[in-house]
Structure 1
């Protein structure tokens, strides 16, 4: 993909963010690989005056990996409020997230699980808010989805959990409710099995697209509840037994 196609794709997605109708896809400007998808993400982020506050990622066994930038402006601490335009819905997903305490720059050998965990400063529950720029995000290619930050809208994070290193993170019971109605309550559910797995993958993947994990950045590791679309004017509560919860007032 040339610079012109990156700009074309970024302009399409930026237009939707600024109020133009959603699009079916990126057409001839669609990225063919991760590097091109990330170039589009970074172009959009620059155009809206954002900066990288972290990443969302997934590394499910036997399936394609994926990752996207999180705009720092969309990261909020719970409890908080989040606007939902009248007549629209927003997606919600309860996840386990990590905060980096030190940089993990590119190097000649892959980072091990232990090295990545040593770089983590904290772990906590999070609820990702989802809103696609496509008419039907299920009908675009994975690279197009990545170009649109995998439909990321924002991330609300809970408090750091003491003693998380000694917890069975894959086996935590997740619970998510909206409007007082429990939507999901089950054990586990992370698409990668263990939420540390996509974090390690991301640390080793990012240098291939000219990026790196940096101290202070937040990494969210995939929905344990699936994607559920809800209307505004409701309270969302998502979290894990013994790991805290996140409260969001949808406005």
Structure 2
């Protein structure tokens, strides 16, 4: 995509967020025509956000479960960038008023311990495993700005940094069980609201990281030591409409809490 058009589109996204406008497709002539165009716009939009939110410290992968893909009417994963000031530790309080519409996604996060080599071939979970230094329970804060899911434009969604508004992390475990069968359970004020397994994330969370590494490689980038990857939700997004406490427990090794006000 021509840089001028990508920059115009990024500026329009920034203005829409500041005005708290409902999410809609980007308008012509700057509307992305391809997924590559969408990531070009995302790059420019994230660059605009860095002044307020700091440098990139990781990525989110979205739409990694059949449930989420069906919910959004999309048949492939998407990626976004996580910025430094948007990383919160378990127990954090977030305000609904700071989002167009806050959604919570209940996930498994990984921390990269060593750079993943660039390669022209698709990256596999087996290639990723030696580069993972920690795993945690995590909650992604998404801002869908009251999007109309019946008429969702995936390219504009990707352009809008795939709706990432932050992440909440438990402590990273240096040792973890097999992640494919791991059960994750979400509660609201101690009442069960959903559950899923590691296998609901593209069969295994490391498949999600491998997909991301392949996507980054295709754009001349790669996963770096110290970066965090949100691998995707094990269940459908939850949209808080009142004050509540949310918890996500990964059986055997991780618990993350967030207070919504």
Give the alignment's TM-score, normalised by structure 1. 0.89
Cα displacement string for residues 172-227 of structure 1 (whole angstroms, at most 9, x for unaligned residues): 11111123321013545624121111111211220212321111111111111211
Q: Does the 8 Å CA contact 1:89/1:231 hold for their aligned counterparts?
A: no
Q: Which segment drifts farther, 198-207 or 138-147?
A: 138-147
Q: Which residue of 2 aligns with 1:19?
A: 19
In 2 relative to 1, CA 121–162 (structure 1 residues): closer, same or farther, beyond 3 Å?
A: closer
CA drift at 1:30: 2.1
Structure 2: runs of 5+ lacking an equivalent:
70-74
CA drift at 1:17: 2.1
Q: Which segment drifts farther, 232-241 or 54-63?
A: 54-63
Mapping 1:86-165, distance limit 5 Å: 89-133=101-145, 135-164=147-176
Q: CA separation in 2, counterparts of 1:148 and 1:6?
A: 12
Cα displacement string for residues 129-182 of structure 1 (whole angstroms, at most 9, x for unaligned residues): 111246425523222111112221111011112421xx2212111111123321
SS in 2 for 1:231: coil
Q: Does the 8 Å CA contact 2:109/2:135 hold for their aligned counterparts?
A: yes
Q: Which segment drifts farther, 20-29 or 129-138?
A: 129-138
SS in 1 for 2:116: coil
Q: Does the 8 Å CA contact 1:176/1:236 hold for their aligned counterparts?
A: yes
Q: Does the 8 Å CA contact 2:137/2:249 hold for their aligned counterparts?
A: yes
Q: CA separation in 2, counterparts of 1:233 and 1:154?
A: 18
Q: CA separation in 1, counterparts of 2:178 and 2:32?
A: 38
Cα displacement string for residues 69-89 of structure 1 (whole angstroms, at most 9, x for unaligned residues): 112221112121112119975
Q: Which residue of 2 aligns with 1:220?
A: 230
SS in 2 for 1:97: strand
| Displacement over 4 Å in runs of 4+ | 58-62, 86-89, 186-189
Q: Which segment drifts farther, 228-237 or 16-25?
A: 16-25
Report the number of matched residues: 249
Q: Which segment drifts farther, 193-202 or 44-53?
A: 44-53
Give the alignment's TM-score, normalised by structure 2. 0.86
Q: Which segment drifts farther, 27-36 or 229-238?
A: 27-36
Q: Does the 8 Å CA contact 1:57/1:220 hold for their aligned counterparts?
A: yes
In 2 relative to 1, CA 20–65 (structure 1 residues): closer, same or farther, beyond 3 Å?
A: closer
Of the three residues 31, 55, 58, the one matched with 1:54 is 58
In 2 relative to 1, CA 36–225 (structure 1 residues): closer, same or farther, beyond 3 Å?
A: same
Q: Does the 8 Å CA contact 2:91/2:257 hold for their aligned counterparts?
A: yes
Q: CA separation in 2, counterparts of 1:15 and 1:240?
A: 38
